[in-house]
């Protein structure tokens, strides 16, 4: 028996996320055409921050230790992962 799976694709320009500066020390800016939820995760898998970004938002990381972090964006059923 097969199960039908459907999907919705956002137009490419709506999916585009820009993050700068990357790498960063204290703060980075995210630009996007649609609102997206994000999670900031360390390499041990611990969530270090969460929030929403829209059009152009700044995210403060000054309270975190230096290191590599993963930024996970969620919009609809789409996940996008970015290494910081």
CATH number assigned to the domain comprising residue 72: 2.60.40.3080
Q: Is residue 57 part of a domain?
A: yes
- Taking only the tens place, the pLDDT of each residue in 34-66 is 888 999 999 999 999 999 998 899 999 999 999
Q: Whole-model pTM? A: 0.74
- Taking only the tens place, the pLDDT of each residue in 10-42 is 555 555 788 999 888 899 999 988 888 999 999
Q: Is residue 19 part of a domain?
A: yes
Please tell me the total count of domains within the chain.
Answer: 1
Q: How far apart (Å, rounded) are the C-alpha atoms in residues 59 and 75?
A: 18
How far does Cα 14 stand from its chain's mean position? 14
Q: Is residue 9 part of a domain?
A: no
């Amino acid at each position: 028996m097969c199960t039908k799976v459907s999907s919705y694709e956002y137009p490419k320009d709506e999916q585009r996320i820009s993050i700068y500066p990357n790498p960063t020390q204290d703060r980075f800016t995210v630009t996007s055409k649609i609102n997206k939820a994000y999670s900031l995760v360390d390499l041990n898998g611990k969530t270090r921050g969460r929030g929403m970004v829209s059009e152009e938002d700044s995210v403060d990381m000054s309270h975190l230790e230096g290191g590599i972090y993963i930024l996970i964006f969620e919009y609809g059923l789409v996940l996008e992962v970015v290494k910081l």
